Amino acid sequence: AQTVTQSQPEMSVQEAETVTLSCTYDTSESNYYLFWYKQPPSRQMILVIRQEAYKQQNATENRFSVNFQKAAKSFSLKISDSQLGDTAMYFCASGNFGNEKLTFGTGTRLTIIP
Amino acid sequence: EAGVAQSPRYKIIEKRQSVAFWCNPISGHATLYWYQQILGQGPKLLIQFQNNGVVDDSQLPKDRFSAERLKGVDSTLKIQPAKLEDSAVYLCASSITSGRDEQFFGPGTRLTVL
């Protein structure tokens, strides 16, 4: 069974600063993929970024980037130039090719301070 | 493009009563998911449909929960009878083909069991 661990229940940073959210996972599979999802206070969850394990290059999406350390089973999310709209719960999730079920972590509540 | 629709948005029931939730996924999305999100936790997959067939229902409490997706489009999730521990947000999501694709989430139904 897969497990996903997010060790930071809450974080806060000043607007325009950079923040890194941590995630570790455990899987016995060799082919898998990882996601970061964002859940703003309105509760509709949206995808932030996606990484497939076979790709060595870290995924980036504008101000969002990941640090994927496969050997350490670590998948952290970096948010640069943070904005007030980044305030949300952030969930790390993993899934295996073949068994398409996603396993989510417990989330990190991020607050951007004006 | 319309998003994932869910109804009702809120529901309050007494324990041992029955309740049903409805979800209409994004048009053309083959895969539909029901998640249970208890306060302070990440979403937990209850059941996953591919068209009108069940892909995974390993975490669905089948003695009280049931779900169907008869025509491969919209879906209903039922709880009968409800227990106090069923209080949660029930999220519906859909994806184009499989779990490795981006999942699009609905706004959720917040269930309170008294």
B41-76 burial, b at 16+ Cβ within 10 Å, e below that, comes to: ebbbbbbbbbeeeebbbeebeeeebbbebeeeeebe
Q: What is the pLDDT of residue A96?
A: 80
Q: What is the pLDDT of residue A29?
A: 83
* Whole-number Å distance between alpha carbons of B19 and A113: 40
pLDDT tens, A56-97? 899 999 999 999 999 999 999 999 999 999 999 999 999 887
Residue to mutate among B103, B104, B110, with most A CBs inside 10 A, is B103
* Whole-number Å distance between alpha carbons of A21 and B103: 21
pLDDT tens, A27-64? 888 888 999 999 998 768 999 999 998 888 999 999 99
Residue of B nearest to A42 (CA): B107
Tokens 């059941």 identify what position?
B47
Q: Which chain B residues are Cβ-neighbours of A93 within 8 angstroms? A: 42
Answer whether residue B92 shows pLDDT above 90.
Answer: yes
Question: Do residue A45 and residue B45 have CB atoms under 8 angstroms apart?
Answer: no
Question: Do residue A44 and residue B41 have CB atoms under 8 angstroms apart?
Answer: no
